[in-house]
Structure 1
Amino acid sequence: MGLFSGINISASGLRAQRVKQNIIATNLANAETTRTKDGGPYKRQSVVLKENPDEFDYRQVFGPKRMEGNTTHRHHMAIPKPDFPIITEKIGSGVQVDSIEEDKEPARLVYDPTHPDANAEGYVAMPNVNVVQEMTDMIAATRAYEANVTAMGATKGMLMKALEI
């Protein structure tokens, strides 16, 4: 783990939350779009995040180790003795955008026979965007962004303090 790993982890979170906010803004801007290039109503999009590949593994420092134990999850380890020292988890290294996916929910049908996109029965296929949910998601993404800025500031403060030593 390098000197600037904390800043890099926070920066990856900032990038991910920026993409989330952009997608949410696009969803909100198209909440009433009934005709896209494809001919149908706009389909809500969502961001799928994944953990960055680990940049640090204890085996890099200590070498490969063999041990016996039971696992139920990759981060859970049953240690044979309580005084047996071992690092059981890798150190994370932030997040990245895995994909941007279209929501599979069907379009909402709204009765409006005067709308130019109405079908023969007078129904209009409206986007599957819930404005209230999108605003809630935007608040959560904004708070996550702010938390990453705060974490980056704290890391910077610790690095500055370390330079004083």
Structure 2
Amino acid sequence: MTDSISSALKIAASGLEAQSERMRVVTENVANARSTGETPGSDPYRRKTVSFTSEMDRLTGADLVRIKSVDTDGSDFKMELDPGNPAADKDGYVKMPNVSMLVEMADMREANRSYEANLQVIKQARELINLTIDLMRG
């Protein structure tokens, strides 16, 4: 039983770590949603994405979630008319980041829910350990 609880704790901990990194990347995207280039025609901030992978823990045999990579989104930049911006081209258009607040909020909500689910697994495992200790005393 302790092996299965230990595996559950390791799996949940790896999920917490992965979702925490995902939330960090989403936060960076949101913070830079209006970060343009510094010169006319220069590229603005490019949205980042997170890819996950599973990795077997040799000690427990459990599949843990890990961050495979943090990449950049290759989708097109939005063009916005803002002639007073230092990054505006000759026609007054500025390349804007390819960050959609709707997508970022959905990603944040999903990451938050996954984080909470993994946290709940850890709480339940802790309760099982405490119950086991109480039974052994008893």
TM range, smaller chain: 0.7 to 0.9
Question: Which of these two proteins has the greater Rg computed from alpha carbons?
Answer: 1
Pairing partner for 2:112 from 126, 137, 142: 142
* Native 8 Å contact 1:51 1:92 kept in 2: no
- CA-atom RMSD in angstroms: 1.9
Q: How far does the alpha carbon of each residue in 1:2-56 deviate from its partner, in whole angstroms, 9 at most, with x for none?
A: 35111111100000010000000000000000027xx520000011111122537
* Distance (Å, rounded) in 2 between the aligned partners of 1:55 and 1:159: 23
* Native 8 Å contact 2:7 2:62 kept in 1: no
* Distance (Å, rounded) in 2 between the aligned partners of 1:112 and 1:128: 17
TM-score by length of structure 1 reads 0.72
Count, aligned residues: 130
More helix by share: 2
TM-score by length of structure 2 reads 0.85
* Structure 1 stretch displaced more, 152-161 or 135-144: 152-161
Q: Secondary structure at the match of 2:95?
A: strand
Indicate the percent of aligned positions where both proteins have the same amino acid: 32
Gaps spanning 5+ residues in structure 1: where?
58-90
* Distance (Å, rounded) in 2 between the aligned partners of 1:17 and 1:54: 18
After superposing on structure 2, the runs of 4+ consecutive aligned residues of structure 1 that deviate more than 3 Å are: 54-57
* Distance (Å, rounded) in 1 between the aligned partners of 2:37 and 2:92: 16
Of structures 1 and 2, the one scoring higher in RCO (CA 8 A, sep 6+) is 1
* 2:46 counterpart letter in structure 1: K
